Amino acid sequence: MSFKYKVGDLIEAAKSGEINVFGHGCNCFCTMGSGIAPLIKEAFPKMYAADLKTEKGDKTKLGTCTMAFLNDGSLAGFNLYSQYGYNRRKQGLRDLDYNALYDSMVEMKKLLQSYTDGPMDTYRIGFPKIGAGLAGGDWNVIEAMIKSIFFDCDVTVYVLKEWEIPGYYPPDDGALTSEQIAAIREMTKCGLSTGGTGLSWLN
């Protein structure tokens, strides 16, 4: 298994063939309207079409996924139903449902297994920092989930800035920018730089 971070664009990686599978988090209301979702909707309309085939507001979608074959079948995209709605964040609460994210990734893995007779490391899987942005999840927990489920796959987590990579420390050759300071404070607040994981999402 290979698990790594890369500063880059997940969508461009999917278009170029750098990865041949990707997944992202969705709510259960068929919106794809925030975070990376609208960019995926624009770049890969079949992803949104797959989402629209499900019932809007159906809570039973939690922990499941929909998928679409893209780029003439050379790419598979997964909508992972990892949160019910998207309004809890307005109250300072977490929208992400850890169990739903875990179950949806397990379902994604099962589907990938059904499409190959060979080793799973033939899949080059890309994720954003799924569930740890607007959805409010703890990336330490989410990273542990990904590693436990996709242990036999080649996984890359794409970030837009180097300081989004866990364990990153700014160089000592100059003052921190306000952007870096804000990011490090946010990571600390969310427990993203503390290390350690465990399987606490099952509790």
Does 177 reside within a domain? no
Count CB atoms within 10 A of the CB of residue 68: 18
> What sign for the dihedral angle of Cα 53, 57, 60, 63?
positive
pLDDT in tens, 127-176: 999 999 999 999 999 999 999 999 999 999 999 998 888 877 666 555 66
Task: Flag whether 120 is in a domain.
Answer: yes
Instruction: For residue 121, tell me if it sits in a domain.
Output: yes
In a domain, 110, yes or no: yes
Count: domains in the chain: 1
Is 192 within a domain?
Answer: no
Please report whether residue 179 resides in a domain. Answer: no
d(CA 95, CA 82): 9
| E runs forming strands in 2-51 | 2-7, 21-26
Rounded to whole angstroms, the Cα distance separating 22 from 158 reads 11
Residue 203 domain flag: no
Q: Which residues contact 171 (CB under 8 A, 6 or more apart)?
A: none
How far is Cα 159 from Cα 145, in angstroms, rounded to an integer? 18
Residue 8: inside a domain:
yes
Q: Domain of 40?
A: 2-161
pLDDT, tens digit, for every residue of 65-93?
999 999 999 999 999 999 999 878 777 78
The CATH number of the domain where 34 resides is what?
A: 3.40.220.10
Three-state DSSP state, 102? helix
pLDDT digits over 88-114, tens only? 877 778 999 999 999 999 999 999 999
